[in-house]
Structures are given as structure tokens and as C-alpha cells.
Amino acid sequence: MKGFLLALQFLTILPVRLSGSISGRDVGRSTAFFPLAGLIKGGLLVLAYAAFDPFLPSAITAALLLIVSVLINGGFHLDGLADTFDAIASGKPRQGKLDIMKDSTTGPIGVTAIVLVLLLKYLLILDLFSISPIPYLLLFPVIGAWSIMAAIFHGRSARKEGLGYLLIKETGGAQFVCSAVIVMVIFVSGRYLLNYLAFPSIPLSALFVTAVYLFTLPLIKFFGRHFSGLTGDNLGAICELNEVFFLLIIAVVHGG
């Protein structure tokens, strides 16, 4: 239970209270539950959709869902996205890039990255209304959270301190396998336990998860080349990019 609560604390701004001390091992174990934290976020989006959709046009509902999505995690993944691309665009040596990511200000490249990601995500969420939005509103935060887990497992830390360093240091193969199993259970249970046929089939679910995994690997390599490893900001960027990538796959599969 502590691992799940820690995952919620790391990935959302939900008021989670933990009693007792937290060890590095606890931090490592929490990564196995990142997809469940994503599922909570997805569930909140589905509830928001159920509240807004009967009364508002689809375009406005999609915009409100995007706002809810940002608010649930306090926008810190978008902040990581902006810091990451500000640092890359600077052209400075590795340490200079790491220093830029510690700076609280956001430059023009970072702002542009946020605007483009939010614009794409808005259009892709709106596109879900042409099919059945509930399954994918539930699933895209799961995918985003799991992509962080995949990056943590395969990456190495660019720093010797901080949450990103601790997550990477303490996460092992057992957590990675457990998280992958949880992702597939979430995908499959929507179709069979909830009897919601709009959920993707098992082969399609496996294809989606594999595609996101294969998309994450070059991102790890790309950021690693610039920062000699990954930072917490890079993990936030990977989450945002994978959420957009997953929603884009859905748009392609369903014919846009």
C-alpha cells in the first residue's frame, strides 16, 4: 500500500498522507504502481467527462478535460517538458544544460514545447469524441505513467542526487515486470471485466503498449546524449510525449 500511495504522491497532487519513514527501497517499489496512479488520473478524467459532456459542446468539454488533466499532476510534467527543451536548445555543455533545468524561469523554446503539446493533446482528445472517449481517457494517463517507469528502468541518472536519481537507483527488474503486467491487466479488464467493448482487444492492447515502449527507448537515448543520463524533468517530458504519441496512435487506428 505504501508503494501505491508513494506513486500517487509522485505523479499527482492528490492529498496523500504517509505515516512513518520512507526508505530508498520504498521509493523503488513505488514505481511498480505508477500505472495504477495513472489509472486514478484516468478515472478522474472519465468522471469529468461524465459531468461535462451532457451539458457542453464537445470542443469545450475537450478543453476542460485537458485542464483537468494538467491540474491533476500540478503541471509538473509540463514544467519538465519545458525545462528539458530549453536546456537542449541552449546548446551549452552538459553541466550548463543541467543548470538550466534547475532554473525556475521558462524560455521561449520551453513555452513553445508546452503550447505544441497542449494543442496536440487537445485536438487528439477532441478526436476521441468521434469514437468512444471513455476507454482512452482512462488509458492514456496509464500509458504516460508507465512510460516513466520504462524510462526509469532502462535509463541512468544524470545526477547523483534528487528524486530522479533515487527512482532510477532503486528500481529493478521486478518493478518493471510488475508494472507491465499491471498495464496489460488494466487494458484487458476494461474489455472483459467492465464489459466495455470499446476497449481495445488483447492483440491491439499489446500493440499499443509495445509501440509506446519502443517510442520510449529512443527518447531515453536522445535525452541521455544531451544530459549523460536522465533527470526528473526528462521523465516528465517522456510522460507528456508518450501521452501524445498514444493518443495519436488511437487517431490513426480509428481513421482520424
Residue 191: what pLDDT?
66
Quote the CA–CA distance of 111 and 41 in Å, as a whole number.
24
Answer whether residue 119 shows pLDDT above 90.
Answer: yes
- Report the pLDDT value the prediction gives residue 192, as an integer from 0 to 100: 66
SS3 label, residue 1: coil
Task: Name residue 148's amino acid.
Answer: I
| C-alpha cell read off for 154 | 532502462
* pLDDT tens-digit map of 6-59: 888 788 888 777 666 666 676 777 888 899 999 999 999 999 999 998 899 999
Cell 459531468 sits on residue: 51
**Residue 67, all three cell numbers:** 485542464
pLDDT on residue 116: 95
Residue 66 has pLDDT above 90, yes or no: yes
Report the distance separating Cα 216 and Cα 241, nearest Å. Answer: 9
Condensed to tens digits (0 to 9), the pLDDT of residues 68-96 reads 999 998 888 898 899 899 888 887 887 88
For residue 114, list its beta bridge partners.
Answer: none
What was the pLDDT predicted at 19? Answer: 62
Number of helical H runs and strand E runs in the chain: 12, 0
Neighbours of 197 (CB within 10 A): 11
Please state the rounded mean pLDDT for residues 137-144.
92
d(CA 120, CA 237): 15
pLDDT confidence of residue 248: 93
Work out whether the CA dihedral 99, 10, 209, 172 comes out positive or negative.
positive
DSSP H or E stretch at residue 158? none
Confidence (pLDDT) at 21: 67
Provide mean pLDDT across the span 166-182: 86
- Angstrom distance (rounded) from CA 152 to CA 235: 8
Kindly report, residue by residue over 127-137, the tens digit of the pLDDT.
Answer: 988 888 888 89
pLDDT of the residue at 175: 86
What element of type H or E holds 181? helix 173-192
The amino acid sitting at 57 is P
In this prediction, residues 199-225 reach a mean pLDDT of: 87
Q: How confident is the model at residue 220 (pLDDT cuts 50, 70, 90)?
A: very high
What tens digit of pLDDT does each residue of 187-199 get? 887 666 655 556 7
Position 74: which residue type? G
Q: Which grid cell is 17?
A: 498522507
Per-residue pLDDT band for 184 (boundaries 50, 70, 90) equals: confident
Mean pLDDT, the chain, rounded, equals 86
178, 243 contact by CB (below 8 A): no
State the pLDDT confidence band at 232, using cuts at 50, 70 and 90.
confident
